[in-house]
A and B are shown apart, each in its own frame.
Chain A
Amino acid sequence: AQSVAQPEDQVNVAEGNPLTVKCTYSVSGNPYLFWYVQYPNRGLQFLLKYITGDNLVKGSYGFEAEFNKSQTSFHLKKPSALVSDSALYFCAVRGQVLDDKIIFGKGTRLHILP
């Protein structure tokens, strides 16, 4: 069965410091992996995805994510955090079978401290 784990409910980072939001997954076969961001009282916005190829994926707002097949991880990163990055972040995975559904993690709240 597919699953996604975001081990941290909350991450606090000082503005200007690098940030990492962790995600591990379990899926049969090769995965498609996604990160979404949610600002207060808004829907989820797509940030980036991993399909195949380069393990480092670049996305919106300066975010990137590193795919590690051996560790089944897909951590979200940014070299220098902004206060405006404060939001709820969701990792998601799906398999490459046609009827596989996207499975979401429980979310990690990121607080960027001024």
Chain B
Amino acid sequence: DVKVTQSSRYLVKRTGEKVFLECVQDMDHENMFWYRQDPGLGLRLIYFSYDVKMKEKGDIPEGYSVSREKKERFSLILESASTNQTSMYLCASSLVLADLLSGNTGELFFGEGSRLTVL
């Protein structure tokens, strides 16, 4: 089974602190994603990466950065945490979309989430 591991399930940080959220996947997936989840807003894509050292902005990248130095690891960085970044953060990975015959439709495999509270 695919396993996506997020290093911290619960974090409490203070405004202005630098925050690192780590995500590791063990299935050699090319694609990795960071989402935040807020009540009533669903999942919003922050950043994603299709390969090592590559990153692309999602829908809400402001206030965040990412790092992908190794294929299996994708880190989300809050340079200076603010209270409006209190949220549930979800990491996901997927294979590159291939043809229908392979059955791979690029579905996402999620970690357990990291609930961040910024005071």
Interface residues in chain A, defined as those with a beta carbon under 8 Å from any beta carbon in chain B: 9, 32, 34, 36, 41-46, 49, 51-52, 90, 92, 94, 96, 98, 100-102, 104-107
Interface size class of B (residues with CB under 8 A): 20 to 34
Interface residues in chain B, defined as those with a beta carbon under 8 Å from any beta carbon in chain A: 4, 6, 9, 40-43, 45, 48, 90, 92, 96-97, 100, 103, 105-113, 115
The verdict on A45 contacting B110 (CB below 8 Å), with A51-B103, A98-B97 known, is yes
Establish whether residues B43 and A42, one from each chain, have CB atoms under 8 Å apart when the complex forms. Answer: no
A29 to B89, CA, bound (A): 31
7 chain-A/chain-B pairs, Cβ below 8 angstroms: A36-B108, A44-B110, A46-B109, A94-B97, A94-B105, A94-B106, A106-B42
Residue of B nearest to A33 (CB): B105
